[in-house]
Amino acid sequence: MKNNIKLNPLVESAMFAALAVIVIIATTYLPAFYFIGIIVLPLPFAFVYIKHNFKYAALALATAILISIPFGDLFTAISLGLTYGIVGIVMVYCFKNDESVLNTIIFMAVVVFLSTILVYKISVLITGKDVLQVTAKEISNIIQKYKGVYESHGASSSKINTLLDENNMVYIMKMIMPGTTFVFSIVSTYFSYRFSTSIFKKFNYT
């Protein structure tokens, strides 16, 4: 009887981990699904935590990440799984400690914000490539391609050359990155919170 009691949480944890794997893979390979994916992804881990405990939620998270790795990009699987898995766990932790809706969303957003910045820093260290530099180069190439069109519409060469300065673009991106990342964190976690709580209510977990 004791073994049966222990088996049930393990089976459910495995099921939710499998669901998370599907979401991670879909989010990785379907760009159009990305925003939906990050809204849904915290839910499986939150469900395990709210129904059982932190240990099973952490187990589901580790399992989901390990299974996701062979199906996609190692770095993406780990960053998505860890970030939004922790978001789900933090959300339920706040529920269990009677935190307000505002505080819960803020705590969730802080996790996303810090994880995003950390992932960016780690990606630069691991790959040796700055994603902002790569993006700036692509934008510069596009502007260069249509330089003649801009000039024909009255844009001065000096202004165009300023736009073509990749270092200037990277500087601007780095200036706005914290703000845009924070706004994204708030928006994504707000929708994730609303989605998760609506599901919890259907199962009488709130």
| Nearest CA among 101, 125, 109 for reference residue 189 | 109
| pLDDT of 4 higher than 50 | no
Residue 9 belongs to a domain: yes
Confidence at residue 1, expressed as pLDDT on a 0 to 100 scale: 37
Q: Give the position of tokens 């405990």.
A: 53
User: Which residues form the domain of 94?
Assistant: 2-128+181-202
Confidence at residue 124, expressed as pLDDT on a 0 to 100 scale: 75
Q: What is the average per-residue pLDDT within 27-56?
A: 91
Structure tokens at 190: 């707000």
Question: Considering its fold, how many domains does the chain have in total?
Answer: 1
Please report, as a single letter, which amino acid is at residue 65: I
- Please give the mean pLDDT across all residues of the chain: 83
| pLDDT of 82 higher than 70 | yes
Confidence at residue 167, expressed as pLDDT on a 0 to 100 scale: 67
Residue 167 belongs to a domain: no
Q: How far is CA 114 from CA 107, 158, 187, in A?
A: 11, 38, 15
| pLDDT of 74 higher than 70 | yes
3-state secondary structure at position 41: coil
- Distance from C-alpha of 39 to C-alpha of 190, rounded to nearest angstrom: 9
3-state secondary structure at position 185: helix
If pLDDT is split at 50, 70 and 90, which confidence band does 29 have?
Answer: confident
- Distance from C-alpha of 135 to C-alpha of 170, rounded to nearest angstrom: 8
pLDDT higher at 198 or 72: 198
Residue 166 belongs to a domain: no
Residue 118 belongs to a domain: yes
Please report, as a single letter, which amino acid is at residue 12: E
Residue 11 belongs to a domain: yes
Residue 104 belongs to a domain: yes
Residue 161 belongs to a domain: no
Least confident span in 53-57, 74-78, 114-118, 189-193: 74-78
Confidence at residue 79, expressed as pLDDT on a 0 to 100 scale: 86
If pLDDT is split at 50, 70 and 90, which confidence band does 56 have?
Answer: very high
| Nearest CA among 74, 113, 88, 120 for reference residue 16 | 88
If pLDDT is split at 50, 70 and 90, which confidence band does 97 have?
Answer: very high
Q: Give the position of tokens 């495995």.
A: 14
Q: Give the model confidence (pLDDT) of 125-172 as tens digits.
A: 777 777 677 676 776 676 666 666 665 666 666 666 665 566 677 677
- Distance from C-alpha of 200 to C-alpha of 144, rounded to nearest angstrom: 52
Helix/strand/coil percent split, the chain, to 5: 90, 0, 10
